[in-house]
Amino acid sequence: MKIVPAGDKFVCQLGKREKNLLFDLLKLYPCIPAARPGATKAAALPETSQRLLEEALAEQRTTNRLQIQKWLADPHRFEETETSWRFSLSGPEIEWLLQILNDVRVGSWLSLGSPDEKLELSLLNAKTAPHFWTMQLAGEFEMRLLKALEA
């Protein structure tokens, strides 16, 4: 993916396979379980506050999910060229996309058992490989978006 600043927007160019990969990643959202153990310090939050937090997170996930579906289905967002796809993003859209991709990346990491060290490729199998590649691919898209914001 190539990203070039253009005024207050960023023009992104994806190869045809990259577009499919990005779409597939976005369709995986949300990946982080709603009530994952250790996500918050339950003892530090009263039960009512914990419940309100979980409700707010569930509402945000629903909003994001609907926004992703709308974003992917927008026939005017992506312009096909002979060899690639182009689309533009505003700064806030990049921030939103980073949040979505991070959820997919972290959710995949959790599915791998939250490894502290670099995951040994020898430990990959038919069950873990999809999570590993999803984590890696989401991280790659995140890095490219972050580099564009830094430029």
Domain boundaries, position 69: 2-150
CB 141 within 8 A of CB 101: yes
Instruction: Tell me what pLDDT residue 124 has.
Output: 84
Instruction: Tell me what pLDDT residue 118 has.
Output: 73
| pLDDT per residue of the chain (151 residues) written in tens, 0 to 9 | 999 999 999 999 999 999 999 999 999 999 998 765 555 454 567 888 888 888 999 999 999 999 999 999 999 999 999 999 999 999 999 999 999 999 999 999 999 988 877 767 777 889 999 999 999 999 999 999 999 998 7
Write down the pTM of the prediction. Answer: 0.88
47: phi then psi, degrees, rounded to nearest 5: -55, -40
CA distance 54 to 34: 7
Number of domains in the chain: 1
